[in-house]
Amino acid sequence: MKITTYNLNGINGRVALLLRWLALAEPDVVCLQEFNPSDERFPERAILDHGYEAIWLGQKSWHGVAILSRVGEIHDTRRGLPGEPEDVQSRYIGSAVDGVLIVGLYLPNGNPRPGPKFDYNLRWSDWLHDHLSTLVALDSPVVVAGHFNVMPTDFDVYVPDHWRDDALFAAEVREAYARLLELGWTDALRHLHPDERIYTFGKYCDVFP
């Protein structure tokens, strides 16, 4: 199963781009983040016509997560983190597809630092840690994919010195990500390429002509 993640930065202005990418990359499952519109404006019909089922949790502005599948029915398992009344932003969605539990997430951006957004990033990371600690021990395969809003190492970003003051480069944010791995999760990219400079974080841009 080919599982991918895609940060859209707004879906309704980029539906054609998304559909073109689906045709080129041919993923089986896609976790989308930051598609922005409210639930009723999600372009389900266009995605269905392209061969993908979809579930989504929308929210106007810089939020929204969705999961697309072309390899079987998507069983909706969770919307939002459990037991957290402060978790009012649409940043977490869980599903089961063809025997695999797939989580799509969009961790809050912590900028500017210090400030309430940075504090919320750390709180949300704690909530996520508590929840993922219950999933890592499951017998079924589990994939957590999305936008973690972190630069875990200098290898993950171009010119690291340019990012030292960014919240996503902060020691606390890196430590929160490291604590997830300590639970037993595997960073798939670093597992395959532990010492290569492969950029996992960058400013948004459209990459298809």
What percent of the chain has pLDDT above 90? 71
Low-confidence ranges of the chain (pLDDT < 70): 37-39, 62, 202-209
Q: Which residues contact 61 (CB under 8 A, 6 or more apart)?
A: 36
**Residue 36 confidence (pLDDT):** 73
**Residue 195 confidence (pLDDT):** 87
**Residue 35 confidence (pLDDT):** 77
Give the global pTM: 0.91
CA angle 186, 192, 198 (to 5 degrees): 105
**Residue 208 confidence (pLDDT):** 39
Peptide bond into 160 cis (omega under 30): no
Contact at 8 Å (CB) between 3 and 28? yes
Distances (CA, A) of 112 to 46, 104, 115, 118: 36, 24, 6, 7
